[in-house]
Structure 1
Amino acid sequence: MKKSIYYLCLLTFVLFYNCGSQKKNKIITVKNNLEITRSFETIEIFKTDLQLDKDQNFEHLAVRDVDTQTLVVSQFVDEDGDGVTDMLLFQPKVEPKSEKQYELVLVEPNERQETTEYCYSRFVPERTDDYAWENDKVAFRTYGPTAQKMIEDSVPGGTLSSGIDAWLKKVDYPIINKWYAKNDKNPGAYHIDHGEGLDNFHVGSSRGVGGTAVKKDSIYYFSKNFTSWKTITTGPIRTSFVLSYADWDADGNMISEEKHISLDYGNNLSKFEIDITGTDVVSVGLTLHKNEGVITENVDGGWVSYWEPHEGSELGTGIVSTYETMIGYENYVTNKKDESNLYAHLKVHDNKVVYYAGFAWKESGQYPTKESWEKYLNEVRLKINNPLEVTFN
């Protein structure tokens, strides 16, 4: 069964008819078993599970709050890329130790709410060949084959890295296209804060915020730049895409790797679903930069954090996984440029590993202290290890 952010599961789908066999709207019950409020967790509703009649258009469905009778923001996704919409997303809000009901209703397209595409990603050929993504909280980018070849051919302006770069935004509206456009006219513009944030996070050949590696003996090996990309969706709730990599060598072990990355509204962490062969353990890294920060590890709880001074401010980065996935960590410090990283060691299950990685910049006001950042990471690990219970009646 496919999983939503924080491993939300659709447990059962039951069609309900009245005595005249007239179909009634399906009621979605979302139950929260934790002592914390649940929000910004995405429910995935699959078309194949709804068993719609031929005259029922999946894309005319909307989600309505039963209590308020108002429509909530939703998003359709063509998850498998076959040109046909197959999934509907929405984000409930459920109070501690309680449940909330929503209703699937048919609406006309003009009845839907106007929404902003907060969750956005794209390939960026005008800046060599970056792939960049963002939501209302954070933004990221990583690098493609042209940037790699420029380095290999000694052409200025290239980047050789499979690390994940962080763009430090402090506004909730989209900035990727705006910053790239400014940088195209005035190279280096996005390295200056014009009131929305800036790119002053150095990634180099480090793992950045959640890049992968494989350790053999005492050495970490990792891929070069991505070789191809595919955007799956953008919208008000989620952006997701796939990055493919050329097979790479880890001390005689050939590693095959593909990354399915998604970022949902209201979240500081991207979700990484990695298909990988050639290793039983993946090491996911957070760059240590000048090694002036504070490391906090909670391997039993499934998370590690690095809080550091950053260009006159402060920055927290983190990795979170399920309890059974994280099996260790290492504070790896070396004299090699950009290769000092805090690594979380994650167990590969059936050639797959799933984790969440992201950051919070003090200037954004989201999680301005080490304590608030670590509290957020702890709540994320509680949520992904205790998914909301979702049933249809």
Structure 2
Amino acid sequence: MKFTYKIVVLLLLSTLFSYAQKPIIITISNPLKIDREFETIEVSKSALGLKSSDVLEKFGVREVGTTTFLIAQCVDENGDGITDLLLFQPKIKASASKKYELLVNNDAKTDEPVTYCYSRFVPERTDDYAWENNKVAFRTYGPVAQKMTEDKVKGGTLTSGIDAWLKRVEYPILNKWYEKYTTGTGTYHKDTGEGLDNFHVGDSRGIGGIAIKVDTTYYYSKNFTTWKTITTGPIRTSFVLTYADWDAAGNKITEVKRISLDYGSFLSKFEITVSGTTRLSAGITLHNNDGKTEGNSKQGWIDYWQPIDDSELGTGIVFPKKTMVSFEKYMNPKKELCNLYALLKVKDNKVVYYTGFGWKKQGEFTTKEAWENYLTNYASKINNPLIVKIK
């Protein structure tokens, strides 16, 4: 038994030594003439040449020639209990490239990095699903809130629109704000220095909700019916929301949203799986229609810059190339039905877009021009992704 144990230990040490001596090289190149950061590289275990039995958490990524490991996150994409995707965020100068090495990280710190990218189901506030990173926060609403509204019970919410929480601090606030609400020790509708929720959704699309237009009418789903959290961590949070089948002028529509939010980004990524249509629209609410709408079909974005209380807010949606067909400012006698819509192609039952906001009080976007410059650069980056080569 002792002899067998020694063989196993020696084989394990030999494997780890082999990894340490022969790091996997990841070369990342930037094809654009702008500096890149806060973009997530994701590499699968198979792409890295690792065996299915290898434990991804034992590996780290660092720039070649340095001794400091980057913050990384391992993700179990298929829910089998084994992580199969590695995430990290490099900084790459314009038209430049860098080499990184993947190797066993024997010096990994015992303290976990702060989970800036976080999401969860919130049963204590009816049944919200909320998510945030270090820049922005969002939420949407579940079946209990829908039933309360349909039963005319006070406190319900009936909408598949996306709400925005205007935070202006880097640290996480979701749990703190919900605790104030549920304990009665405060309210997230008043800014005490961290931000607030003063963004009304109602029947609107909020920031990035979808709809389908038939003739002159927009149709959309009700609240989500089920949820599943995929990951939270220092780099990304992601989750899946499913919706009951809904009707668009006689067309049966199925809808599943996979939403993710990465560290440093003001935009959530929406991956919509839909059947029953070849076109759908993504919208942003016009609220009081006292702001300025803009759209750029060539670059692939729409936005709305509006006054909000004693500040200003930019909302927007960015699309991969050849996704947006057109956009329109849709007006209706009912204020909450007024949205800026982008008409999108559905390809293989899927649509992908990125949606979010920039609040003037947060500090990074103090003008409409600054916000639109961010959207322009964001579109350029998703259409010209960082090039990853693994050796």
* 302, 305, 314: which one aligns with 1:304: 302
Corresponding residue for residue 360 of structure 2:
362
In the TM superposition, residue 48 of structure 1 has moved relative to its aligned partner by 2.3
Corresponding residue for residue 244 of structure 1:
242
In the TM superposition, residue 47 of structure 1 has moved relative to its aligned partner by 1.2
Structure 2, unmatched stretches of 5+, are 1-17
Separation of aligned partners in 1, 2:48 and 2:371: 39
Corresponding residue for residue 10 of structure 1:
none
8 A Cα contact 2:288 2:335, kept in partner: no
In the TM superposition, residue 357 of structure 1 has moved relative to its aligned partner by 0.3
Corresponding residue for residue 141 of structure 1:
139
Separation of aligned partners in 1, 2:216 and 2:242: 27
8 A Cα contact 1:73 1:113, kept in partner: no
Corresponding residue for residue 322 of structure 1:
320
Corresponding residue for residue 233 of structure 1:
231
8 A Cα contact 1:148 1:159, kept in partner: yes
Corresponding residue for residue 41 of structure 1:
39
In the TM superposition, residue 55 of structure 1 has moved relative to its aligned partner by 7.0
In the TM superposition, residue 170 of structure 1 has moved relative to its aligned partner by 0.2
* 169, 186, 192: which one aligns with 2:184: 186
Question: Does the C-alpha gap of structure 1 residues 188 and 50 become closer, same or farther in structure 2, counting only changes over 3 Å?
Answer: same
- 2:277 matches 1:270: no
Question: Does the C-alpha gap of structure 1 residues 21 and 186 become closer, same or farther in structure 2, counting only changes over 3 Å?
Answer: closer
8 A Cα contact 1:67 1:101, kept in partner: no
* 183, 204, 208: which one aligns with 1:206: 204
Instruction: Give the root-mean-square deviation of aligned CA atoms.
Output: 1.6
Question: Does the C-alpha gap of structure 1 residues 56 and 226 become closer, same or farther in structure 2, counting only changes over 3 Å?
Answer: closer
Separation of aligned partners in 2, 1:207 and 1:67: 48
* 227, 232, 252: which one aligns with 1:254: 252
Corresponding residue for residue 12 of structure 1:
none
Corresponding residue for residue 157 of structure 1:
155
Runs of 4+ aligned structure 1 residues displaced above 3 Å come to: 20-23, 53-56, 108-114
In the TM superposition, residue 56 of structure 1 has moved relative to its aligned partner by 4.0
Question: Does the C-alpha gap of structure 1 residues 188 and 206 become closer, same or farther in structure 2, counting only changes over 3 Å?
Answer: farther
- 2:176 matches 1:175: no
Question: Does the C-alpha gap of structure 1 residues 113 and 70 become closer, same or farther in structure 2, counting only changes over 3 Å?
Answer: farther
In the TM superposition, residue 110 of structure 1 has moved relative to its aligned partner by 4.4
- 2:389 matches 1:385: no
Q: Which amino acid aligns with 2:280?
A: V
Corresponding residue for residue 311 of structure 2:
313
* 76, 79, 91: which one aligns with 1:78: 76
Separation of aligned partners in 1, 2:19 and 2:378: 43
Structure 1, unmatched stretches of 5+, are 1-19
Question: Does the C-alpha gap of structure 1 residues 392 and 113 become closer, same or farther in structure 2, counting only changes over 3 Å?
Answer: farther
Q: Larger RCO: Structure 1 or Structure 2 (Cα < 8 Å, ≥ 6 residues apart)?
A: 1
Separation of aligned partners in 2, 1:227 and 1:384: 30
Percentage identity across aligned positions? Answer: 60
Question: Does the C-alpha gap of structure 1 residues 21 and 109 become closer, same or farther in structure 2, counting only changes over 3 Å?
Answer: closer
- Identify the range of structure 1 (143-152 vs 106-115) with the bigger mean alpha-carbon deviation: 106-115
TM-score by length of 2: 0.93
Q: Which amino acid aligns with 2:221?
A: S
How many residues end up aligned between the 2 structures?
A: 374
In the TM superposition, residue 109 of structure 1 has moved relative to its aligned partner by 7.4
User: Could you list the per-position Cα deviations for residues 311-354 of structure 1 after superposition, in whole angstroms to 9, with x for gaps in the alignment?
Assistant: 11100000001120011001001112411000011111100000
Q: Which amino acid aligns with 2:79?
A: G
In the TM superposition, residue 187 of structure 1 has moved relative to its aligned partner by 7.7
SS of residue paired to 2:120? strand
The 5 Å alignment of 1:111-122 reads 111=109, 114-122=112-120
Separation of aligned partners in 2, 1:143 and 1:150: 12
Separation of aligned partners in 2, 1:123 and 1:381: 30
